Structure 1
Amino acid sequence: MASSLFGYETLVHALAGATGSVVGMAAFYPLDTLRSRQQVEESNKLQGSVWELVLKLAKEEGLESLYRGLCPVLQSLSVSNFVYFYTFHGLRRSSVSKSSALKDLLFGVVAGSINVLITSPLWVVNMRMKFDKNLYNSLFEGLCDVFNKEGVKGLWSGTLPSLLLVSNPAIQFMIYESIKRNLVAMKRFDTYSAFLTGAIAKAIATTLTYPIQLVQARLRVGKSLKPLYDEVKSNPLVLFRGLEAKIMQTVMTAALMFLIYEKVVRLVLTIMRVKITKK
């Protein structure tokens, strides 16, 4: 079991997952900015189609506003996905029984829980940096400031909904791996299939868990949930505010991530196996 958890193949999966997620997020970051603002802000000015709103923000606040907080987000995302992919694939390789959708779901929940407990402080800080460009100069400065002012509780604010949200990547990976197994059995799985499969898996997972994501976003920036609760009483659909932008951003990000992930894994493992064979 130990050799599977700490083997080079597990490390390759983790590095490939981190790389793919960073590229995917960087490519579609303006959509993530829009989604965050729709979740947190009370203003009705962010109404309209996704692309209309992206152009509106760029015109009114400058193009740089769409990329505010990009660097800390990519730093946090790389750490987060490294932990998730490493844990998920380490557990799969350690398992002696045959892979199944239920096992993938269980491994996804465990990997997600470990990831949340380790990386929550990173997301608390970069969420705040996204809304105030002058708040901190670096992720490390933000971590120190939140700890000094709010203590451990502040760094892990929003952890409960985050733990509930481990269902999101768990569902995503369960669907992805299930479809992948079937396509591999039919010898029809390639990197482009990975793109489409990743998109489908993420779309389903995001839609099912979106209300929890909205609550999580508000807690991370220190917003009270009372105004949201009052709005939901008159209009329950408020819980899905920003879903269109979130679906577009996460689906395209996840699709690109899985495409790059599969390519990197295949390339690195092929090179390493050739070297081992030559020896």
Structure 2
Amino acid sequence: MASNGGSVGELLSYETLVHAVAGAMGGMTAMTAFFPLETARLRLQVDENRKAKSTPVILAEIAKEEGVMSLYRGWFSVISSLCCSNFVYFYTFNSLKRLMVLEKGQSRPGRDLVMGFIAGTVNVLLTTPMWVVNTRLKLQGAKFRNEDLQQTHYKGIFDTFSQIIANEGVGALWNGTLPSLLLVFNPAVQFMFYEAMKRRAGQDGQKISSLQIFFIGAIAKAIATTATYPLQTIQAILRFSQQKSEGKKGLLGSVCNLVNLIMDRIKRNGVLSLYKGLEAKLLQTILTAALMFMVYEKITAHTFKLMGLNNKQKH
């Protein structure tokens, strides 16, 4: 009984909550700082007929055609989704980390990868509807080069939810779930490299500087993003799709639809079309991840110090 009570205590510990809140705050801060880069990336992924140009040129085009504020279209929806998503991910990851460290000692890259995969799966299943909604809101009012893309008329987050459910069915809120589940390897790989590099930098009791954390976070995210970007492109297309789900159902049907979408994209625009927006995504995601981890580490360190707690998790 004591063992079970200890496990529950670790899952519901104050320290784990601090990590979750700090991760959410770090993500919100970083995304706000680099949000226009996310806008450029999404346009290139979804709008097949928009020519892939340098990120500054894309941003200038959008600002000229739709106004400067269009670069921040959907900001509130994205920040809300990111806050929930990061909270779930960091809470799950650090809960698993505390349990594994207690049972098996110091964490290792293999364990970090498993913990990241589990945390990512939980996150995807719980927060995909929010990401579908914010994708729709971010692209509303966009001047598409592809005439097949339909303009939408949503009044806000709750109206988007209700319209999607009414017109496309509840299942549409989980559009893109399969590539999202495959993409849990992205944060899993990211956290594996991040934790490994952080352990190496902090070996022999050395204090890790904010600049080191920034670069460690940037490198980890660059590796993860480059490896999984084609799936991120398909994920964005599926989330924006306004068609009722048709054809084969179930996991096999989802896999077939995913493969067909990938092959169709390659047939019409070539393999490189799966990498449209990679420059903007790398720039945005590297800077965002680096700043997020830096803010996250600062918040956790200062909170533990303020409350007179020791960060008992071993790195």
Q: Report TM bin, short chain.
A: over 0.9
- In the alignment, residue 138 of structure 1 is paired with which amino acid? G
Q: Is residue 36–residue 71 contact of structure 2 (8 Å, CA) maintained in 1?
A: yes
1:26 aligns with 32
Q: What TM-score, normalized to structure 1?
A: 0.93
**Alpha-carbon deviations, 1:162-202, whole Å to 9, x = none?**
00000000000000000001111141512221111000000
Secondary structure of 1:273 counterpart: coil
1:13 aligns with 19
1:157 aligns with 175
Runs of 4+ in 1 over 4 A off after TM superposition: 223-228
Whether 1:229 aligns to 2:263 is yes
- CA–CA distance in structure 2, aligned partners of residues 204 and 135 of structure 1: 37
- CA–CA distance in structure 2, aligned partners of residues 110 and 19 of structure 1: 22
2:187 aligns with 169
Give the alignment's Cα RMSD to 1 decimal. 1.8
**Alpha-carbon deviations, 1:190-227, whole Å to 9, x = none?**
22211110000000000000000000000000178767
Give the number of equivalent residue pairs. 274
1:125 aligns with 133
Q: What TM-score, normalized to structure 2?
A: 0.83
Written as runs of structure 1 = structure 2, the 5 A alignment for 1:198-217 is 198-217=217-236
- CA–CA distance in structure 2, aligned partners of residues 4 and 243 of structure 1: 39
More helix by share: 1
- In the alignment, residue 85 of structure 2 is paired with which amino acid? S
Whether 1:47 aligns to 2:52 is yes
- In the alignment, residue 290 of structure 2 is paired with which amino acid? A
Q: Is residue 16–residue 95 contact of structure 2 (8 Å, CA) maintained in 1?
A: yes
- In the alignment, residue 26 of structure 1 is paired with which amino acid? T
Give the drift of 1:237.
Answer: 1.4
**Alpha-carbon deviations, 1:218-253, whole Å to 9, x = none?**
000017876763441362111111100000000000
Q: Unaligned regions of 5+ residues in structure 2, if any?
A: 1-6, 142-151, 244-257, 311-315
Residue of structure 1 aligned with 2:82, choices 74, 77, 83: 77
Give the drift of 1:17.
Answer: 0.3
Written as runs of structure 1 = structure 2, the 5 A alignment for 1:174-189 is 174-186=192-204, 187-189=206-208
- In the alignment, residue 229 of structure 1 is paired with which amino acid? M
Whether 1:59 aligns to 2:93 is no
2:249 aligns with none
Q: Is residue 18–residue 300 contact of structure 2 (8 Å, CA) maintained in 1?
A: yes
2:73 aligns with 68
Whether 1:269 aligns to 2:304 is yes
Give the drift of 1:274.
Answer: 6.3
- In the alignment, residue 47 of structure 2 is paired with which amino acid? E
Give the drift of 1:140.
Answer: 2.1
- CA–CA distance in structure 2, aligned partners of residues 274 and 178 of structure 1: 24
Give the drift of 1:142.
Answer: 1.5
2:8 aligns with 2
Give the drift of 1:137.
Answer: 2.7
- In the alignment, residue 177 of structure 1 is paired with which amino acid? E
**Alpha-carbon deviations, 1:35-78, whole Å to 9, x = none?**
0010000213x432111211221122210111110010000000
- CA–CA distance in structure 1, aligned partners of residues 174 and 242 of structure 2: 14
Written as runs of structure 1 = structure 2, the 5 A alignment for 1:75-114 is 75-95=80-100, 96-97=103-104, 98-114=106-122
In terms of Rg, which structure is larger?
A: 2
1:218 aligns with 237
Give the drift of 1:94.
Answer: 1.2
Larger displacement relative to structure 2 (132-141 or 221-230): 221-230
2:163 aligns with 145
Secondary structure of 1:107 counterpart: helix
- In the alignment, residue 36 of structure 2 is paired with which amino acid? P
Give the drift of 1:153.
Answer: 1.1
Q: Would the alpha carbon gap of residues 214 and 274 (structure 1) be closer, same or farther in structure 2, given more than 3 Å must change?
A: closer
- CA–CA distance in structure 1, aligned partners of residues 309 and 190 of structure 2: 32
- In the alignment, residue 271 of structure 2 is paired with which amino acid? P
